[in-house]
């Protein structure tokens, strides 16, 4: 996933949070607090890597203050320019503005997701509404919009299809969508809404972070965790020790509804206990998000109406590839039918196994429940494909997967090579830095790898950037991948599940999109594309985790170095279509929940005490309320849509996967993993950022529009199940 949380942009759009005009004339910068601040000047390190060894929490507020003051002065200079508005003195000038704010924002919001402290969480709460006001003061500045509009009227002077023309179009569109055409009274309402939404989103994210940490369960006896591997038990012991619970085992909660450890835990009562802890997060008690959810949904709907749209979904999708809620609903329903049909068959097979085992043990059978599915599905997979995860994990050592899998594929496709840099500072000792070299040997980018979970790190996996590529500022990209792998006990290997292997390839696909960018203007750089396109390169890159030539290169035993036996190798590949009914349905449930929340008007927004009732009703209305298959995220901890920028956009993973699987078919029909094919994708898509309409970019590469057929085939949903 791309940058869950506050997505940063460049120039006048330095923060997509949205600042009343008087706030921009803000507080003068305290010179003594600003002196020696590491954000005052561009970093002198390679690639302008932030000087993490010099940055402390007390540097952020002065840098935000100075950055806002600087940018306001730059905007005023554009407003007061006596020359006629032009692309150079208005649009490029906007693009050049806000460099201090850009530097501090990149570091702060990245680290506040991956390495937060009580201080940074407090700063986030203070700054969210102020930055929202700052953004509004730019986007709702009538003199500035008059200049932008004047340049836009003369857009025919810029070549059709040029990067400059696209930059102008993006600026004009953003101003209009931000309310630049509204009357002053309506703009005042909009400013107030934006500030409230910024605060509510911050509160939501911080509540989920705390609720997730608090939901961890301590076990006094390892016997309660029977079924976990030695490495998993070691990680649980380490997690307990980190919280001062020596001699105990701590199961921490991941951001998804179903916890991965449930696949191995034999004790049904303890599985239920962990599941209940997961779904109870942020829906009551001290950590409750329902009030924030109800308020956010109503505010978003009211804001959409103010801007002239029927719903928040209509507003969001008008600037996405999908275009309309109807287009999103159509593809979700199409895939839902296949997913639910397959999931129903999978549930029947699991229930049959439960009944058979109960009969053999002379015990009472029970009905399949959500906390049972992954445990028994693992047994079904073992029976059908004759292997289990414990047999496979020794072949997926993290470092080997990274270097001999992820990096190897990037080398084969794009000619990239990687060298670890231990001379550069990081924000934590276990964060790794790699310099990336292009096929001609020139330095291309820096790649940071932050792979381990911790209490002060947001759940999930994501990519973001500390520096965006742009020729305008002569900047090469610095990107980071975040995962949440449980750190094992000292001396034990870091062994991955195949799902985690796939996640590593997925996030590196985002990283490639950022690192291979070759554009002039930072607003159009890398992953700054619509959400329903940004997941396309990452989901395409997932396919190489399954590619036999790549898998053979990294699937080697961590102790002996022996290659995974071909028979096991074949079973792992064949099993990738197993349980896809479940995986597809849990995702579709979440995507439909997102649309249900955002396709309503303000008059339909539920009160806080009706939030969970609304959720249940939405699942039933869409025909996807399977008792044993809960949504991947329940509403109170659905970070993507309430604290990220995926609201009305969670469908993007599916929409992008249609493009990704079509691209996979294209590669295989054109000779597979070759430099020639990689260079075509790089030249036509990965290097282009948002320099052109992204639908046009894809179709220029692919030769036309994609359909869902390759996706359904990839997931094994297009035809009856086949056993190996």
Query: Could you report the per-residue pLDDT of 224-239, keeping only the tens digit for each?
Result: 999 999 989 999 999 9
Q: How far is CA 331 from the centre of its chain?
A: 21
Q: What is the DSSP letter of 8?
A: B
On whether both 151 and 235 belong to a single domain, the answer is no
CA dihedral 142, 147, 149, 152 (to 10 degrees): -160
| Residue 391: active-site member | no
* Mean predicted confidence (pLDDT) in 106-123: 97
On whether both 120 and 260 belong to a single domain, the answer is no
- Could you tell me the pLDDT band of residue 24, with boundaries at 50, 70 and 90? very low
Give the pLDDT score at 522. Answer: 98
On whether both 546 and 401 belong to a single domain, the answer is yes
On whether both 21 and 136 belong to a single domain, the answer is yes
The mean pLDDT of the chain is 94
- For 252, half-sphere exposure in the C-beta direction (CA atoms, 13 angstrom radius) is 31
Give the pLDDT score at 47. Answer: 98
Q: Which of 507, 535, 586, 647 is catalytic?
A: 507
- Could you tell me the pLDDT band of residue 390, with boundaries at 50, 70 and 90? confident
Q: CA 17 to CA 134: how far, in whole Å? A: 9
Give the pLDDT score at 367. Answer: 98
Total domains in the fold of the chain:
3
- Could you tell me the pLDDT band of residue 388, with boundaries at 50, 70 and 90? confident
Q: State yes or no: pLDDT of 14 exceeds 60.
A: no
Give the pLDDT score at 3. Answer: 62
Contact (Cβ atoms closer than 8 angstroms) between residue 537 and residue 678: no
On whether both 240 and 162 belong to a single domain, the answer is no
Q: Which one of 515, 535, 554 terminates a domain?
A: 554
Give the pLDDT score at 724. Answer: 35
Question: Where would I find the H helices in 26-141?
Answer: 31-34, 60-79, 93-96, 99-114, 118-139
Q: State yes or no: pLDDT of 467 exceeds 70.
A: yes
Give the pLDDT score at 723. Answer: 42
Q: State yes or no: pLDDT of 324 exceeds 50.
A: yes
Q: Considering only 31-35, 313-317, 511-515, which range has the smallest mean pLDDT?
A: 31-35
On whether both 217 and 173 belong to a single domain, the answer is no
Q: CA 189 to CA 304: how far, in whole Å? A: 12
- Could you tell me the pLDDT band of residue 387, with boundaries at 50, 70 and 90? confident
Q: State yes or no: pLDDT of 8 exceeds 80.
A: no
Strands 249-251 and 287-288, bridge-based pairing: unpaired
Return the closest-CA partner of residue 664 out of 721, 717, 723, 709: 709
CATH number at residue 537: 1.10.1370.40
Give the pLDDT score at 441. Answer: 98
On whether both 30 and 163 belong to a single domain, the answer is yes
pLDDT tens digit string along 588-631? 999 999 999 999 999 999 999 999 999 999 999 999 999 999 99
3-state secondary structure of 167: helix
Q: Which one of 554, 570, 596 terminates a domain?
A: 554
86 falls within a domain: yes
Give the pLDDT score at 121. Answer: 96
On whether both 492 and 534 belong to a single domain, the answer is yes
Q: State yes or no: pLDDT of 188 exceeds 70.
A: yes
pLDDT tens digit string along 518-557? 999 999 999 999 999 999 999 999 999 999 999 999 999 9
- Could you tell me the pLDDT band of residue 718, with boundaries at 50, 70 and 90? confident
On whether both 138 and 235 belong to a single domain, the answer is no
Q: State yes or no: pLDDT of 11 exceeds 80.
A: no
Q: State yes or no: pLDDT of 34 exceeds 90.
A: no
- Greater pLDDT, 464 or 6: 464
- Could you tell me the pLDDT band of residue 15, with boundaries at 50, 70 and 90? very low
Q: State yes or no: pLDDT of 720 exceeds 80.
A: no
Give the pLDDT score at 555. Answer: 98
Give the pLDDT score at 10. Answer: 31
Domain ranges, residue 157: 11-178
On whether both 128 and 240 belong to a single domain, the answer is no
Contact (Cβ atoms closer than 8 angstroms) between residue 639 and residue 633: yes
Give the pLDDT score at 30. Answer: 66
On whether both 42 and 121 belong to a single domain, the answer is yes
The pTM for the full model equals 0.91
On whether both 505 and 452 belong to a single domain, the answer is yes
523 falls within a domain: yes
Q: Which one of 259, 287, 315 terminates a domain?
A: 287
638 falls within a domain: no
* Mean predicted confidence (pLDDT) in 416-425: 98
- Could you tell me the pLDDT band of residue 721, with boundaries at 50, 70 and 90? very low
Return the closest-CA partner of residue 39 out of 65, 73, 7: 65
């Amino acid at each position: 996933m791309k940058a869950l949380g506050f997505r940063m942009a460049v120039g006048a759009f330095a923060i997509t949070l949205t600042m009343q005009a008087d706030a921009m004339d803000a507080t003068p910068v305290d010179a003594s607090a600003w002196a020696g601040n590491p954000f005052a000047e561009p970093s002198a390190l390679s690639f302008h890597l932030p000087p993490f060894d010099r940055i402390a929490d007390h540097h952020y507020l002065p840098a935000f203050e100075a950055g806002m003051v600087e940018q306001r002065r730059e905007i005023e200079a554009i407003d007061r320019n006596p020359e006629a508005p032009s692309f150079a003195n208005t649009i490029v000038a906007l693009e050049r503005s806000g460099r201090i704010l850009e530097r501090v924002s990149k570091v702060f919001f990245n680290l506040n997701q991956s390495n937060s402290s009580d201080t940074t969480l407090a700063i986030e709460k203070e700054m969210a509404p102020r930055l929202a006001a700052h953004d509004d003061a730019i986007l709702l500045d009538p003199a500035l919009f008059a200049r932008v509009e004047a340049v836009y009227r003369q857009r025919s002077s810029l070549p059709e299809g040029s990067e400059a023309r696209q930059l102008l179009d993006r600026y004009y569109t953003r101003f209009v969508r931000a309310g630049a055409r509204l009357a002053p009274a309506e703009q005042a309402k909009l400013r107030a809404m934006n500030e409230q939404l910024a605060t509510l989103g911050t509160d939501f994210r911080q509540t989920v972070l705390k609720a997730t940490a608090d939901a961890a369960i301590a076990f006094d006896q390892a016997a309660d965790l029977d079924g976990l591997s030695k490495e998993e038990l070691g990680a649980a012991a380490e997690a307990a020790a980190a919280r001062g619970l020596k001699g105990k085992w701590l199961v921490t909660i991941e951001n998804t509804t179903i916890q991965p450890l449930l696949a191995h835990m034999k004790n049904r009562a303890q599985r239920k206990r962990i599941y209940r802890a997961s779904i109870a997060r942020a829906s009551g008690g001290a950590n409750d998000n329902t009030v924030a959810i109800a308020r956010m949904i109503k505010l978003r709907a009211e804001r959409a109406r103010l801007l002239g749209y029927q719903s928040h979904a209509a507003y969001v999708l008008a600037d996405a590839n999908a275009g309309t809620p109807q287009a999103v609903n159509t593809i979700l329903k199409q895939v839902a039918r296949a997913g639910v049909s397959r999931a129903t068959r999978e549930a029947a097979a699991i229930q049959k196994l439960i009944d058979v085992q109960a009969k053999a043990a002379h015990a009472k059978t029970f009905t399949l429940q959500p906390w049972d599915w992954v445990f028994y599905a693992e047994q079904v997979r073992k029976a059908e494909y004759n292997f289990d995860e414990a047999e496979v994990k020794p072949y997926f050592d993290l470092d080997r997967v990274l270097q001999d899998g992820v990096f190897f594929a990037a080398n084969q496709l794009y000619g990239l090579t990687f060298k670890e840099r231990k001379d550069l500072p990081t924000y934590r000792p276990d964060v790794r830095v790699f310099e990336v070299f292009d096929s001609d040997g020139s330095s291309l980018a820096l790649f940071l790898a932050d792979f381990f979970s911790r209490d002060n790190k947001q759940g999930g996996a994501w990519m973001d950037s500390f520096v965006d590529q742009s020729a305008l500022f002569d900047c090469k990209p610095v990107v980071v991948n975040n995962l949440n792998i449980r750190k094992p006990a000292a001396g034990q290997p870091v062994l991955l599940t195949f799902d985690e292997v796939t996640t590593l390839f997925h996030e590196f696909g985002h990283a490639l999109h950022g690192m291979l960018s070759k554009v002039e203007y930072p607003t159009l750089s890398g992953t700054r594309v619509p959400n329903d396109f940004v997941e396309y390169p990452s989901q395409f890159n997932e396919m190489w985790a399954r590619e036999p030539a790549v898998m053979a290169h990294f699937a080697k035993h961590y102790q002996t170095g022996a290659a995974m036996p071909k028979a096991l190798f074949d079973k792992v590949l064949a099993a990738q279509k197993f349980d896809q009914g479940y995986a597809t349905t849990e995702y579709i449930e979440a995507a439909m929940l997102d649309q249900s929340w955002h396709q309503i008007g303000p008059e339909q927004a539920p009160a806080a005490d009706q939030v969970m009732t609304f959720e249940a009703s939405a699942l039933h209305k869409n025909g996807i309320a399977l008792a044993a298959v809960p949504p991947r995220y329940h509403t109170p901890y659905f970070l993507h849509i309430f604290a990220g920028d995926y609201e009305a956009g969670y469908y993007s993973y599916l929409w992008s996967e249609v493009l990704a699987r079509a691209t996979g078919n294209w590669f295989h029909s054109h000779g597979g993993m070759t430099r020639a094919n990689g260079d075509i994708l790089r030249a036509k898509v990965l290097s282009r950022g948002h320099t052109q309409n992204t639908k046009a970019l894809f179709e220029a590469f692919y030769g036309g529009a994609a359909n869902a057929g390759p996706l359904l085939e990839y997931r094994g949903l297009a035809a009856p199940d086949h056993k190996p």
